[in-house]
Chain A
């Protein structure tokens, strides 16, 4: 009787659970399986189990190590440093700014965030190209210009990711800063604490948890960026902006090695899961 009641109650969950199992858990399990095979796209009828061979191959592969390094650079530059710091700076400046400025600035930054990924990619492609806006400005200031997408591709795509992703941090930090009681900052001000000291000793400790969750979410977002880099550089020139998702794609489809590409995907998933677990820890949510 009780069992039947709980089953009836759980009934509405079935469509969602079915979709999640078939289209999300299924592929993840399949991913974990084919990462250990030599599955290829072309010709081969059967794939065989190769154990950890794909992973061993990966860690011997300079192109893979290059992709790991670039992913690290991309994540640290754009997410940890760029989006996070700029988002916090914008949010705390907004606390003091006048309302019209706040509205305009918020509007512009959020628009960059809402734009479709590919459009954002094109806009920044145009910005960084040799004939683009950045060089026009540098030229006007009599500063040296260069072909950014060729000389510093990873820096260009990192900036692009900052441009696109900062709004998220800004919104998170604005919400967090609004929750700090006014009396605390005012008391510190009366005691003569300057802006930086208030930031360091009061604000930052008080929004500690928001910082943690924001860093986690930014990092996870950045780990899975594909379209933005694909549009701007295709991972090139050579493989100088080829982060792990692009490397995975190249191995699986341009070189037809699905097994190897999936092994890379699995590594990415594992790293993502670790971040995800830390994030849940930080959230310490009362579900």
Chain B
């Protein structure tokens, strides 16, 4: 006897099919993630996903030492914190005139910025290295911070300007009549009103720098100055055989801050944050 399908049951069937399809893909995506979590807790971690025969925190104990974890993470924090601070301050200042005043130069400037947003920064690392050697900025933290900030600025300005456009101008005009300067109204009125926007730019810049490998890999030479993105390589080669459990534990420690930051901002702004400015299409 043929089963009569009502629209409702058809919809339920379709939902179940979609759920099943998604879960299969998610399982494939989850396997590498499962490896890192399980191996970090596994006293005998290998290269494959396996349920540990006993849970241990020894791997974390082994890597939570100044030279393996604390110094690289502190270096990362200095580099990315400095870079982010510089990016956000410069982007906020730059976005202000672009958003508030009309000028014939706005459009060409913004188009150049948009263009620069898309350039493959990887490509210029060789000339940047050559240039840094010439001007004695190679192997300096401040040089790396400057480059980090510059590479992140185009996107930051673009995002910041879009967020700033959302703050009504009337509020500032009142402040202007009371004699506030542009800088005062930017700091006291506009930025507080676009708090979530500033948070997005900050978190996005920080996350991008935290995960970046190539820039510090090229511009820093002294091992003591290396951030976690580069020092993680030491688990291979230099120390002889790879202790996968420790590598996994370090990966977990190193990745946690950016995941938390992402969750924090994504929650607040819903799903596809940070895509707002770049891919309106």
Contact = CB atoms under 8 A, between A and B. Distances in A.
Contact of A115 (B86, B122, B154, B211): B211
A184 interface: no
Interface stretch (B15-23, B58-66, B168-176, B191-199): B15-23
A280 B111 contact: yes
Contact of B278 (A217, A248, A282): A217
Interface stretch (A27-35, A61-69, A76-84, A150-158): A27-35
B128 interface: yes
A122 B94 contact: no
A41 to B, nearest CB: 9
B278 A34 contact: no
A98 interface: yes
A94 B22 contact: yes
Nearest to B27: A108
Interface of B: 14-15, 18-19, 21-23, 25-26, 29-33, 35-36, 39, 46-49, 86, 89-91, 93-94, 96-98, 101, 103, 105-107, 109-111, 114-116, 118-131, 146-147, 149-151, 153-154, 157, 182-183, 186, 207, 210-214, 217, 228-230, 232-233, 244, 247, 251, 254-255, 258-259, 262, 266, 271-272, 275, 278-281
A155 to B, nearest CB: 15
B125 to A, nearest CB: 8
Contacts of A283: 114, 280-281
B67 to A, nearest CB: 18
Given A23-B150, A224-B120, A285-B114, A127 B35 contact: yes
A246 to B, nearest CB: 10
Interface in A199-249: 209-210, 212-214, 216-217, 220, 223-227, 230-231, 245, 248-249
A272 B141 CA distance: 28
A193 interface: no
Contacts of B111: 280, 287
Given A19-B146, A108-B26, A127-B35, A118 B232 contact: yes
Contacts of A135: 48
A230 B125 CA distance: 15
B258 A262 contact: no
Provide the main secondary structure of the chain A interface: helix
Interface string A81-122: 000001001100111111001101110111110111111001
Given A116-B258, A126-B35, A265-B126, A174 B271 contact: yes
Given A119-B254, A136-B48, A287-B110, A127 B32 contact: yes
A118 B150 CA distance: 22
Given A96-B15, A115-B258, A285-B114, 16 more contacts: A19-B149, A20-B153, A23-B151, A104-B26, A108-B33, A115-B211, A117-B211, A119-B36, A132-B48, A163-B29, A166-B29, A171-B272, A172-B272, A172-B275, A175-B272, A217-B278
Given A172-B272, A261-B126, A268-B120, A101 B35 contact: no
A135 B98 CA distance: 55
Contact of A97 (B22, B33, B116): B22
A86 B25 contact: yes
A10 B182 CA distance: 11
Contact of B22 (A13, A105, A112, A223): A105
A180 to B, nearest CB: 14
Nearest to A15: B90
Interface residues of A, number: 103
A279 B124 contact: no
A108 B275 contact: no
A269 interface: yes
A86 B183 CA distance: 46
A10 B94 CA distance: 8
B262 A114 contact: yes
Given A163-B32, A280-B115, A119 B49 contact: no
Most buried by A among B39, B124, B183, B186: B124
A194 to B, nearest CB: 11
A181 to B, nearest CB: 17
A101 B15 CA distance: 10
Contacts of B280: 283, 285
Nearest to A277: B115
A189 to B, nearest CB: 9
A16 B93 contact: yes
B21 A16 contact: no
A12 B36 contact: no
A248 B123 contact: yes
A108 B269 CA distance: 19
B30 to A, nearest CB: 5
A39 to B, nearest CB: 7
Question: Lowest 5 A-B CB distances belong to which pairs?
Answer: A116-B211, A23-B150, A227-B213, A224-B120, A224-B122
B46 A131 contact: yes
Contact of B127 (A30, A95, A276): A30
